[in-house]
A and B are shown apart, each in its own frame.
Chain A
Amino acid sequence: MSRRKPNEEYDKTMAGRFFGWLSGSKDPYLGRVEMQAQEEKVLPSETIIERMREAQMRRDKVYDPEANTLARLFHKIYTASAVLFCIALVGVLLVTVSYLPPSGNADNPVNNVVSERYIEDGLQETGALNIVSGMILTYRAFDTFGETNVLFIATCCVMILLMVDDAILKKQEAMSDRRFEPKNDAILQGTAFVLTPIIFIFGIYIILNGHLSPGGGFSGGAIIGAGLILYTSAFGFHKTQRFFDEHIYKIAKITALCMYGLIGTYFYVTGANGIENHIPLGIPGHILSSGIILPINFCVGLEVACTMYAFYALFRRGGL
Chain B
Amino acid sequence: MDFVQNFPCFSIILCLFAGIISSGFKDKAALRINTGLLVIVTFLNGATLLYTLETGESFVYVMGKFPAPWGNEIRAGVLEALTALFFCVIMLLSLLGGRHKLLEEVEAGKTYLYYVLTDLLLSSLLALVYTNDMFTAYVFVEINTISACGLIMIRQNGRTIEAAVRYMIMSLLGSGLLLLGLCMLYDLTGHLLMSNIRQSVAQIAANDAYVIPLIVSIVLMSVGICIKSALFPFHAWLPDAYGYSTVSSAAILSSLVSKGYIFLLIKIIYRVIGFDIYHDTRIIDVLFVFGLMGMVFGSLSAIKENDVRRMIAYSSVAQIGYIYMGFGMGTEAGMTASVFHILSHAATKSLLFIAAIGLTDVSGGSRKFIELTGAAYRNKWAGAAFTVGSLSMVGVPLFSGFISKLLFAQAAVQNHTKMLPALIVLGISTILNAIYFMKTVIRIYTPVGYSAYPSITFAKMRVYAVTLIAFILLNVILGISSQPVVDMIRQGLSMFS
Contact = CB atoms under 8 A, between A and B. Distances in A.
Interface of A: 92-93, 95-96, 99-101, 108-115, 117-118, 125, 138-143, 145-147, 149-150, 152-154, 156-157, 159-161, 163, 165, 250-251, 253-254, 257-258, 261, 264-265, 267-274, 277
Nearest to B127: A146
Interface of B: 1, 5-6, 9, 13, 16-17, 19-21, 23-24, 61-66, 69-72, 109-110, 113, 116-117, 120, 123, 127, 133, 135-136, 139-140, 142-143, 146-147, 149-150, 153-154, 156, 180, 184, 186-191, 200, 210, 212-213, 216
B24 A250 contact: yes
Given A109-B200, A261-B13, A153 B69 contact: no
Contact of A153 (B64, B147, B190): B147
Given A108-B187, A142-B64, A272-B63, 7 more contacts: A96-B216, A99-B213, A113-B69, A160-B110, A160-B150, A254-B20, A272-B64
A101 B62 CA distance: 31
22 contacts: A93-B180, A110-B186, A110-B190, A112-B191, A113-B69, A114-B69, A117-B70, A140-B71, A141-B72, A143-B72, A143-B136, A146-B142, A147-B139, A149-B123, A153-B120, A156-B116, A157-B150, A254-B24, A258-B20, A261-B20, A271-B66, A273-B1
B1 A101 contact: no
Nearest to A157: B150
A200 B372 CA distance: 61
Given A100-B184, A250-B23, A277 B139 contact: no
A146 B120 contact: no
A12 B351 CA distance: 69
In the A-B complex, list the 10 residue pairs whose CB atoms are closest, starting with the nearest.
Answer: A271-B65, A146-B139, A142-B72, A109-B190, A271-B64, A157-B150, A112-B190, A142-B63, A110-B190, A96-B216
A271 B63 contact: yes
A194 to B, nearest CB: 35
A157 B149 contact: yes
Given A112-B190, A114-B70, A147-B139, A277 B65 contact: yes
Contacts of A258: 17, 20-21
B184 A254 contact: no
Contact of B17 (A138, A253, A261, A273): A261
B62 A271 contact: yes
Contacts of A150: 139, 142-143, 146
Given A110-B187, A153-B146, A274 B63 contact: no
Contacts of B62: 271-272
Contact of B140 (A125, A138, A146, A272): A146
A265 B14 CA distance: 10
A139 B133 CA distance: 13
Given A100-B188, A114-B190, A149-B120, A159 B17 contact: no
A218 to B, nearest CB: 14
Nearest to A112: B190
Nearest to B110: A160
Contacts of B1: 272-274
Nearest to B5: A272
Contacts of A165: 109
From A110, A147, A153, A156, residue with most partner B Cβ within 10 Å: A153
Contacts of B127: 146
Nearest to B1: A273
A287 B138 CA distance: 33
Contacts of B24: 250-251, 254
B264 to A, nearest CB: 15
Contact of A159 (B16, B113, B142, B186): B113
B23 A254 contact: yes
Contacts of B6: 269, 272-273
Contacts of B154: 160
Nearest to B200: A109
A109 B23 contact: no
Nearest to B70: A139
Given A254-B24, A273-B6, A111 B70 contact: no
A268 B9 contact: yes
A109 B187 contact: yes
A254 B21 contact: yes
Contacts of A270: 65
Given A254-B24, A267-B64, A99 B72 contact: no
A114 B70 CA distance: 6
Contacts of A268: 9, 13, 63-64
A261 B190 contact: no
A108 to B, nearest CB: 7
A96 B136 contact: no
A114 B191 CA distance: 8
B36 to A, nearest CB: 17
A299 to B, nearest CB: 11
A136 B72 CA distance: 10
A276 to B, nearest CB: 10
Contacts of B191: 112, 114
Contact of A156 (B13, B61, B69, B150): B150
A86 B109 CA distance: 44
A149 B187 contact: no
Contact of A108 (B63, B135, B190): B190
A162 to B, nearest CB: 11
A100 B147 contact: no
Nearest to B60: A272
A92 B216 contact: yes
A82 to B, nearest CB: 13
Contacts of A142: 63-64, 72, 136
A320 to B, nearest CB: 13
Contacts of B9: 268-269, 272
A125 B20 CA distance: 30
Contacts of B139: 143, 146-147, 150
A118 to B, nearest CB: 7
A100 B142 contact: no
A100 B142 CA distance: 27
